[in-house]
């Protein structure tokens, strides 16, 4: 009988300890269970060093243009200056649009870049393609190849999502199938 009372006592004590450990923490004034850190905030001592503003970086990339017959691509090296990655991608696209060589044709010259966004390993480009910028089927294929070859030079990009006026269309200019997203080839 003593063993039975002792067993019930231990069981009761065990349940009491478990209930106390599982009890809800008090809710702070903000309505969350987060600990209240208001009041004393300790400044960090970083030895007097100051955080530098974002530095401008430089990177040389190859951009691709078509020959005058729009049969094949030729590359040109361009140096990009940028502070953030999205700015780097925007400048790479702008480099695809700007061509000083009379022997080469920019396939993206008349295409308007609406936005550039990168998240994880995916780069999303939203473009507007006016009628005068639309190319034939071979031109469309070369334009996509010029874009993907240029953008996949950036090691952090493994997928390229190309939107037209915010929409994921089946085709960029009406001729060739457009994957969503375009995957980097191994």
User: Residue ranges per domain, the chain?
Assistant: 57-183
β-sheet bridge partners, residue 133: none
Q: What is the pLDDT of residues 30-55, one digit of tens each?
A: 444 444 444 444 444 444 444 456 78
The mean pLDDT value of the chain amounts to 81
Tell me the whole-structure pTM to 2 decimals.
0.69
Looking at residue 185, its pLDDT comes to 87
Secondary structure element (H or E) that encloses residue 113, with its range: strand 112-119
pLDDT category, 73, cuts 50, 70, 90?
A: very high
Q: In the 8-state DSSP scheme, what is residue 132?
A: G
């Amino acid at each position: 009988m003593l063993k039975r009372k002792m067993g019930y006592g231990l069981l009761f004590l065990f349940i009491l300890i478990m209930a106390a450990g599982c009890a809800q923490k008090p809710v702070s004034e903000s309505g969350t269970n987060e600990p209240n850190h208001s009041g004393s905030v300790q400044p960090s001592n970083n030895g007097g060093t100051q955080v530098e503003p974002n530095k401008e970086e430089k990177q040389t990339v190859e951009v691709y243009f078509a020959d005058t017959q729009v049969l094949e691509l030729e590359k040109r090296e361009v140096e990009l200056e940028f502070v953030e990655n999205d700015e780097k991608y925007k400048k790479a696209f702008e480099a695809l649009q700007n061509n000083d060589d009379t022997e080469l044709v920019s396939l993206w010259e008349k295409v308007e870049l609406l936005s550039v966004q990168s998240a994880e390993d995916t780069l999303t480009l939203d473009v507007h393609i006016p009628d005068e910028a639309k190319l034939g089927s071979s031109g469309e294929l070369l334009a996509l190849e010029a874009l993907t070859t240029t953008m996949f030079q950036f090691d952090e990009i493994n997928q390229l999502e190309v939107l037209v006026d915010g929409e994921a269309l089946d085709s960029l200019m009406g001729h060739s199938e457009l994957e969503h997203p375009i995957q980097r080839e191994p």
